Amino acid sequence: MKVSAIPAPLPATLADGVFPAGCPSRTVLDHITSKWGVLILLSLSEGEQRWSELRRRADGISEKMLAQTLKTLEKDGLVRRDAQPVIPPRVDYSLTERGRELAALLIPLVTWAFDNAEAIIGGEG
């Protein structure tokens, strides 16, 4: 596993001017770096989960935000929704291939945040 070789250089469009306001990448970036988006994606990276499991695992999320975030991620093709026509309802959520790609990038980031949280926030007060 090679983690930190040379960081890939920025695509040319990013290199100058980072990238223009209002371009699609900004929107995508907003979705995937959203407060709950990251948590959901991360949680699902461990495998298929039901609504109520996600609700528990994404500690503090409201039902509204869970529904809304899942919908956005589903529309973006990152999350797959599998509703089974049973009573009581059972809906399983999982990552798509694209979602797994993303999660693979998110995990090191979150792990880093986790490892450095003390140093960053602790050293602040």
Positions 43 through 102 that interact with DNA (CB under 7 A): 50-52, 60-65, 67-68, 71, 81, 83, 87-91
Can you tell me whether residue 50 is helix, strand or coil?
strand
Q: In whole angstroms, how close is the CB of 125 to DNA at the nearest point?
A: 17
Strands (E), the chain: 49-50, 79-84, 90-95
Residue 65 vs 110, nearer CB to DNA: 65
Q: Which does 107 bind (CB under 5 to 8 A by kind): DNA, a second copy, none?
A: a second copy
Strand partners, 83: 91
Q: Is-contact 73 79, C-beta < 8 A? A: yes
Q: Is-contact 79 94, C-beta < 8 A? A: yes
SS (H, E, C) 29-53: HHHHCCHHHHHHHHHHCCCCEEHHH
The footprint of a second copy on residues 52-81 (CB under 8 A) is: 56-60, 75-78
Structure tokens at 27: 């929107």
Q: Is 35 in the site for DNA (CB under 7 A)?
A: yes
Q: In whole angstroms, how close is the CB of 69 to a second copy at the nearest point?
A: 13
Q: Which does 48 bind (CB under 5 to 8 A by kind): a second copy, DNA, none?
A: none
**By the criterion CB under 7 A, which residues form the site for DNA?**
30, 34-36, 50-52, 60-65, 67-68, 71, 81, 83, 87-91
